[in-house]
Amino acid sequence: MVKIKGFAEWLPEHQLLQDEIIATIKEQFQLHGFAPLLTRSIEHLEDLLDQGETDKEIYAVNKLGSDSQAEWGLHYDLTVPFARYVSENQGRLQFPYRRYQIQPAWRGERPQLGRFREFIQADADIVNKGSLELRHDADLLSMFQNTLSKLPIPATQMVINNRKLLQGFYQGLGVDDIVPVLRAVDKLPKVGSEETLQTLIREGLSDGKAQAVLDLCAIKATSSEELEVVGDLGVSSELLSEGLAELGEVLDRANSSTIATPVAAALHIARGFDYYTGTVAETEMLDYPDVGSICSGGRYENLVHGDREAIPGVGFSIGVTRLISYGLNHEFLSSEKVSPATVLVAVNSEDKRADSDAVANQLRRRGIACMVSDSDAAYGKQIKVAERLGIDYVWFPQAEGDEVKSLGGRSQEPADSTNWVPNS
Amino acid sequence: MVKIKGFAEWLPEHQLLQDEIIATIKEQFQLHGFAPLLTRSIEHLEDLLDQGETDKEIYAVNKLGSDSQAEWGLHYDLTVPFARYVSENQGRLQFPYRRYQIQPAWRGERPQLGRFREFIQADADIVNKGSLELRHDADLLSMFQNTLSKLPIPATQMVINNRKLLQGFYQGLGVDDIVPVLRAVDKLPKVGSEETLQTLIREGLSDGKAQAVLDLCAIKATSSEELEVVGDLGVSSELLSEGLAELGEVLDRANSSTIATPVAAALHIARGFDYYTGTVAETEMLDYPDVGSICSGGRYENLVHGDREAIPGVGFSIGVTRLISYGLNHEFLSSEKVSPATVLVAVNSEDKRADSDAVANQLRRRGIACMVSDSDAAYGKQIKVAERLGIDYVWFPQAEGDEVKSLGGRSQEPADSTNWVPNS
C-alpha cells in the first residue's frame, strides 16, 4: 500500500478538472473533423526501439511467471502506435486520415515536477498517402493554439522551427555530423549559451561555426518577412532555403486566421525525437517559463511504413498530466467541485426518501446532475455536505411546494423539478 | 508489424461508436453524482495476487533491461485499484464516495470472441466508512439498468443473487468447503446441470445435497414474494435467512422505480471473484444469450482496507470492449460515420480555399463539427468523399450566396453559416 512515484493519481476535485480539460480538447478536435482513436497500450519492443534514443525508458510487459524474454513494451508516446496503426490499416482508412488520441503513455524516467512515468497525452495528427500539403502544418497549429486558448490556463504561445532549416544551415556551415549539434541545440534553453558553445566546440566545430549555430538559435520571428534576417548570417544551402521557405509559409498561414497569441518561429527549437523531418513545434506558457513545453510535435515524412507509397504526417500533442501537475503546483489551476452534481436533493426524513428520489430522477431526465442526500440529518448538516462537495444548489422537497437554495447566492426560492434550471 | 491477438483496435467508424457508448455511460454516471477517477495502470504484484485465482492472468511490468524481479503488474479489473486508491486516500475523500472509472484492464487469458487481453471497463462504485446501507445496491442496479437502456443495443436484463444466501444455503445443507461448490455453480450456465451435478458429487456431496444445490440454482424471481419458494427446499440457516432478506429488499427497491426491464433474481449467479460478500449481479442480453454478462459486479465488505473502521462498497462494471466486439460480430451494433464532422465544406478552387476556411471556422464557433475539403476536385468528387466519411451535409461557399446539400435528403438549399443548423 505504497504510492508509486511518477504514477499520478488525483483527488476527486482534480480528476474533475482533468476531465473538464480533456472534454474541451476533445470537443475542439472533433469540431475540426478529427476522429477518435485508442490504440493498444503495448507495442512490439523492436518497433519501440526503432525510434531515437528511447531504449532506457521503456517498460517491458511479460506474462507473470513466463520463462521467455519480454516481446512487448508499453508505448512511450502516441505517435509511434498511431504510425503503426495507420501502416497496418492503410487499405481500410480514408486518406487524408485525421485522428485524435487521448490516452496514457509510459516512460521509465526519473520522476520530478511535471515529469511522470505514466502520463496522459492528447494528440491530433493528419496523415496522407503520397504527399501531405504544407498547409496542414499551419492548420493544425491554429487548431492547437485555438484549443489551448479554450483551456482554463494562462496565455500560451506555440513556437516553431523547421528541421530542414537547421540541417541545411549546419550543412551550409560545413558540419559533417549533424546529430550531436541538434542535441546540443535542443538542450540550449536548459544549459544556456555558454555551455552550449563549449559543447559545440568539443564536438569539433570551430569557434566561428559554433557561434554561427548560436546566432541562428537567437532568431525569433512571427512572419516570413521577419525571417529574412537568417540570410544575414552568411550561410547558404539548398536545404536551408527549402526549410526557410517552409517555415515562412507555415508561419504566415497559421497567423492569417485570428488566434489568441500568434505562432512564433524560434530557431533554437530542435525536438529530441529523430522522426521529425520538417516543422517542429513547442508551446510556452508565457508567464511560467519553467513549465517547459506543454504541447509539442511536428512533421514526419517516414514514420508510417506505406505499402506502395510514402505516408507523411504532421501532429502535435498536449501533455495533459504535465499541465495539471504544474497547474496545481503553480496554482494557475484549481477546482472546488468534488462532485459533478449540480444539485443535492435533501431528505426530510428516511420515510420520505422516495419523494427526494422522485425529484432527483425528474432532474436527471432533464439533464441536471444531482444526488440524493445520504442522510436525513438536520437541513443545516445536509447543506454542509453540499458545500464540502462543491455542489451549487440544495433542493428541499416539501408537501407545500419544493424550494431550492443557491449556496453561492444564499437565496432560497420556490422551484418545480419539471422546469427549474440552474443559474436561473 | 503483426497484430497482437487479444488487443483490440477498431477502425475509425467503430471507434466513433465506442466513443458514443462511453459518452452515454459517462453522462448517466455523472447525472447521478458519480465523480470521475483514473487510477494508474499498474499495481504492486502482491496487491494483485491477494485477490482470488488470478495469478496466471497477470501481465508483469518491468523496466526493460532491469536485472531485478518485476514488482508491478497491469491491473486486471478496476475494482482492486479503486479499493487501493480509497484506502490510500481515506483521510482526504468525502464519504460516501461515489466514483466512476472508464479505462482499460488487462488479463493474459486465451483470446476468443468477446474475450480480450486488453479491454475497456466502465465501473461505478459507492463506498462508505463504517457501513453502507443496502439501498445503495438497489439504487446502483437501477442506475446501471437505466444506463444500459440508453445505449444503442438490444434489451438487457440485470440478474442478481446474494452470496450470503448461497453460503447460508450450503451451510444449512451441511457442506463444509463452500469454495468448490461456488465454483461449480459459477460454471453451471456453461457446462449444464448434468456435468455440474457430477462435479458436486465428485467434490463429496451426496446425491441429495448435490440435487438441492441445483434446485436452488433453478429459482428465478422478480420480487421478494416470489423468492419465498426458497423455503420449500427445506434448508435453513441464519446466513440463508439474512441473504434471502437482503436479496428480496434489493429486488423490491430496484424494481420500485420504472426501469426498462425489471431486475431479476437468478439463484445460480455466483461470480468468480472472491471479494464479493452480498449482492452479486450479471447482465444478460435477452436476445443474445451467448454474449454472456456485459455488466457485472457486487457488494464487497472487506476489499478496502480502512485505517480505523471497515469501508464496505458496492459496484458494477460494463464491459465496453466485450459489448462492441459482440455487437459488431452479431450485427446489433453498426456505424456509418467514419468522421465526426457533420459538414464537409467544399472548395471551389485552391485560390478560394480561404472562403471555405472562413465558413468552417464560423460553423465551429457555433459548435458544428466540420472539415474543409482536402481538394478542389469537381463537386461530385467532393460529395463522394463526404459520403465515404459518413458526413451528412456538404456546404458550397458561393459569391452569390452559400448553399448546403443534405446527402440524406438530397435537397440543396441556400444557407448562412451564422445561423444554419443541421436537420433544419
**CA B248 – CA B252 distance, rounded (Å):** 6
For B326, which DSSP code? Answer: H
Structural element, H or E, at residue A358: helix A353-365
Of the candidates B142, B76, B84, B182, the residue with the CA atom closest to the CA atom of residue B295 = B142
Comparing CB atoms, the residue among A41, A106, A367 nearest residue B104 is A41
What does DSSP say about strands B42-44 and A412-414: parallel, antiparallel, or unpaired? unpaired
Q: Would you call A42 and B257 a contact, using CB atoms and an 8 Å cutoff?
A: no
Of the candidates B10, B15, B341, the beta carbon closest to that of A33 is on B341
pLDDT single digits (tens) A312-354: 999 999 999 999 999 999 999 999 899 999 999 999 999 999 9
- ipTM for the predicted complex: 0.94
What does the pLDDT average to over A122-140?
97
Distances (CA, A) of B55 to B49, B81, B107, B296: 6, 16, 10, 21
| Residue of A36, A64, A88 with shortest CB distance to B16 | A36
Inter-chain touch A88–B1, beta carbons under 8 Å: yes
The dihedrals phi and psi of B3, each to the nearest 5 degrees, come to: -60, 150
Q: Which pTM does this prediction carry? A: 0.95
Going residue by residue through chain B, which has 424 residues, state the pLDDT in tens, using 9 for 90 and above: 458 999 999 999 999 999 999 999 999 999 999 999 999 999 999 989 876 555 558 999 999 988 889 999 999 999 999 999 999 999 999 999 999 999 999 999 999 998 999 999 999 999 999 999 999 999 999 999 999 999 999 999 999 999 999 999 999 999 988 888 988 998 898 899 999 999 999 999 999 999 999 999 999 999 999 999 999 999 999 999 999 999 999 999 999 876 678 999 999 998 876 789 999 999 999 999 999 999 999 999 998 988 899 999 999 999 999 999 999 999 999 998 999 999 999 999 999 999 999 999 999 999 999 999 999 999 999 999 999 999 999 999 999 999 999 998 778 999 999 999 998 5
For B364, which residue in chain A has the nearest alpha carbon? A31
From the candidates A59, A121, A257, A373, which should be mutated to test the interface with B, based on the most B CB atoms within 10 A? A59
Question: pLDDT, tens digit, for every residue of B253-297?
Answer: 999 876 678 999 999 998 876 789 999 999 999 999 999 999 999
Please report, for residues A30, A266, A308, B1, B339, the alpha-carbon distance to residue A37 in angstroms, rounded to integers and kept in the order given. Answer: 12, 32, 24, 18, 11
Check the CA dihedral B347-B348-B350-B354 and report its sign: negative
Does the beta-carbon distance from A64 to B74 stay under 8 Å?
Answer: no
**Substitution target from A21, A27, A31 for chain B, most B beta carbons within 10 A:** A31
Candidates B7, B88, B96; nearest CB to A42: B7
| Cell numbers for B35 | 465523480
Give CA separation, B387 vs A178, B320, B397, B422, in Å. 47, 28, 19, 16
Q: Which residues make Cβ contacts (< 8 Å) with residue A7, sequence separation at least 6? A: A116, A117, A118, B40, B41, B42
Residue A135 three-state SS: helix
Q: Is B205 left (phi over 0), alpha (psi -120 to 50) or beta?
A: beta
What is the spatial distance between Cα B84 and Cα B91, in angstroms, rounded to a whole number?
13
Q: Which residues of B fall within a CB distance of 8 Å from A108? A: 63-64
Rounding to the nearest 10 degrees, give the CA dihedral for residues B111, B116, B117, B120: 180
How buried is B304 (Cβ within 10 angstroms: 0-12 exposed, 13-18 middle, 19+ buried)? buried
pLDDT value for A55: 53
The closest CB to that of A12, out of B7, B35, B42, belongs to B35
Q: Copy the grid coordinates of residue A331.
A: 496554482
Distance from CA of B342 to the nearest CA of A (A): 8
Report yes or no: A299 and A249 within 8 Å, Cβ to Cβ: no
How far does CA B405 lie from the centroid of its chain? 39
> Residue B383's CB: how many other CB atoms inside 10 A?
18
In chain B, residues with a C-beta closer than 8 Å to the C-beta of A347 are none
Which cell is B29 given?
Answer: 454516471
Q: Identify the bridge partners of residue B283 per DSSP, sorted by sequence position.
A: B158
CA A65 and chain centroid, separation: 36
Looking only at Cα atoms, what is the longest distance across chain A? 89
List the beta bridge partners of residue B292: none
pLDDT tens for A18-75 read 999 999 999 999 999 999 999 999 999 998 987 655 555 899 999 998 888 999 999 9
Q: Residue B211 is which amino acid?
A: Q
Question: Mapped to the 3 state alphabet, what secondary structure does B51-76 carry?
Answer: CCCCHHHCEEEEECCCCCCCCEEECC
- Output the pLDDT for position B1: 47
pLDDT at B258: 67
Beta-carbon contacts below 8 Å between A and B: 205
